[in-house]
Amino acid sequence: MIDTMQTQHISVMPEEVIQFLQPAAGRCYIDGTLGGGGHTALLLERCAPDGRVLGIDADALALDRVRVRLATAVEQGRLLLAHGNFAEMEQIAETNKFQHVDGIVLDLGFSSDQMNAPERGFSFSADGPLDMRMDQTHERSAAEIVNTASEQELADIFWRYGEETRSRQLARRIVRTREKGPITRTGQLAALAVAGVRYKPGAIHPATRMFQALRIAVNEELAHLEAVLPQMVRLLQRGRQVAGYEQSGSAGRMVVISFHSLEDRIVKDFMRREATDCLCPPRVPVCVCGHKAQLRVLTSRPMMPDQQEIERNPRARSAHLRAAEILPVVS
């Protein structure tokens, strides 16, 4: 379930994202995880000359870089950049007058820019402050969790978000160490995970699961994913209501790329539920819930990158892509 390769230099599964979103001129797209702007750049290229993209990122530094990299599209008004959490996607879209959306992509997790900057504290292989916040305006850093959570809370985080089998042992080590003074560096934390473990070069680093778990906890990644999915559906529904949409032959689509099973399960369960008409328990003879399917799932199984892409971009190897299309509203 872990994202073993923690770097990303190029966009993951770019052709698949384009194949599902089918960007076209005049249409509007949201990239909820702008990062280095790879997917956004592709969307802009394919929806030229007048299609638009709203790029959202929790990391203000990512926005600054993309503002430079894609300056022409920004100047033309084809690329809008918004600092914020995708958990507030509807609000961000409304603020940017971006209410009729034709496609949305999420490429979850952290970027290579974040990973490769030791001062951001995501990496166990380069020493830095124990930070891990994607949004630097967010108050709670990894150091705060590591130094204030109880032993039980730490063990729960490592187990739940990292499936770390040594969760209790690591939590105990942390609590003993911090009794002597706060743990403030990624190097200190990584050393606690490595102590007493023999691992072969090329094998998963003993700190991988603990770092992943802490990152998920610091950034509340699963809660934000759960919050954004229904908003994506509502934004695409509104896009569908635009005059002339039905004639165009295309329906709004969402694509989500996840990198560990906790995220993928949330996406899979959400898409399945929203592709089902009635959610009543099987023993209920007549539907009482009134739930109507809003999505058609386009990927019965998650798509994974091919070998060529994995060779080009090792981080892609744990990617799971799921896509769905919006259905007309039943009144």
Written as one string, the DSSP assignment of 292-307 is: ---EEES-SS-B---H
SS (H, E, C) 254-277: EEEEECCHHHHHHHHHHHHHHCCC
Distance from C-alpha of 261 to C-alpha of 53, rounded to nearest angstrom: 29
Residue 16 is a binding residue for ligand SAM (CB under 6 A): no
Beta bridge partners of 255: 105, 323
β-strands 52-57, 28-31 pairing: parallel
Query: Is 62 a binder of ligand SAM (CB under 6 A)?
Result: yes
Chain centroid to CA 117: 19
User: Binders of ligand SAM among 250-309, rule CB under 6 A?
Assistant: none
Contacts 24+ apart (CB under 8 A), 206-209: 207/124, 208/2, 208/4, 208/6, 208/124, 208/162, 209/2, 209/158, 209/162, 209/163, 209/164
The least CB distance from residue 281 to ligand SAM, in Å, is: 33
For ligand SAM, the binding residue among 11, 212, 294, 299 (CB under 6 A) is 11
User: With respect to ligand SAM, which residue has the nearer C-beta, 52 or 224?
Assistant: 224
Q: How far is the CB of 230 from ligand SAM (least distance, A)?
A: 15
> Per-residue contact track with ligand SAM, 193 to 232, x per CB under 6 A?
-------------------------------x--------
Residue 110 within binding range of ligand SAM, rule CB under 6 A? yes
Residue number with CB closer to ligand SAM (111 or 167):
111
**Contact with ligand SAM (CB under 6 A) among 21, 29, 37, 320:** 37
Q: Which of 3, 59, 264, 274 binds ligand SAM (CB under 6 A)?
A: 59
Q: Is 122 in the site for ligand SAM (CB under 6 A)?
A: no
How many chain residues are in contact with ligand SAM, going by CB under 6 A? 22
Query: In which order are the strands placed within the sheet that holds 28-31?
Result: 79-83, 52-57, 28-31, 103-107, 253-258, 320-326, 295-297
Q: How far, in Å, CA of 128 to CA of 118, rounded?
A: 5
Asked if 47 is part of the footprint of ligand SAM (rule: CB under 6 A), the reply reads: no
Closer residue to ligand SAM (CB): 122 or 174: 122
**Identity of residue 208:** T
What's the closest the beta carbon of residue 224 comes to ligand SAM, in angstroms?
A: 4
In the complex with ligand SAM, which residue's Cβ is closer, 39 or 78? 39
Specify the residue for token string 């001062």: 119
In the block, tokens 């150091």 appear at: 143
CA of 44: how far to CAs of 125, 178, 330, in Å? Answer: 35, 49, 32
Q: Which stretch binds ligand SAM (CB under 6 A): 31-39, 74-82, 176-184, 265-273?
A: 31-39
Q: Candidates 33-41, 143-151, 291-299, 302-310: pick the segment binding ligand SAM (CB under 6 A).
A: 33-41
Contact residues: ligand SAM, CB under 6 A: 8, 11, 33, 35-39, 56-59, 62, 85-87, 107, 109-111, 134, 224
